[in-house]
Structure 1
Amino acid sequence: MKPLIATACVIALAAGLAGCGEKSQVVVYKQGQYQGKADGKPWDNEAFSGDKGNWETAIKARNQSQNEYRRING
């Protein structure tokens, strides 16, 4: 019985220590300059073809469909 408990404690200790390790991360910021992909405008995609007004209309419609007061009374 004691070897089983000792084995379980060793496994638990090993699992606990494995969680303490730190993996290297991709460097996206180096010496004052961002190294990642540049962000675009939310309306610059295939669905809206760069039309900001169409994107704003779609966002307003989406927000209204999530409005509980409008859904209950509507």
Structure 2
Amino acid sequence: MISVSLPKPTVKKLEKVRKLRGQSRSSYLANLIEKEIERERWERIFKKGREIARKLKITSEDDIDRILHEV
């Protein structure tokens, strides 16, 4: 369990959205946190993919086909 202090305008927005979704505060915030963790994970995956593409000079699907068929 944790406690969080939020500015009143943020709390009002939070309440409006979570009521529309029919969720408790805890449930809504837990879902938001999980989504953010997942978004960060995908961001790291895409970053790694861009690094690999740059190293292998991949700029198109043809480049991927070329690399796959070199083996």
Q: Tell me, yes or no, whether TM beats 0.5.
A: no
Structure richer in strand, relative to its length: 1
TM-score (norm 1): 0.33
Q: Please identify which structure carries the higher helix content.
A: 2
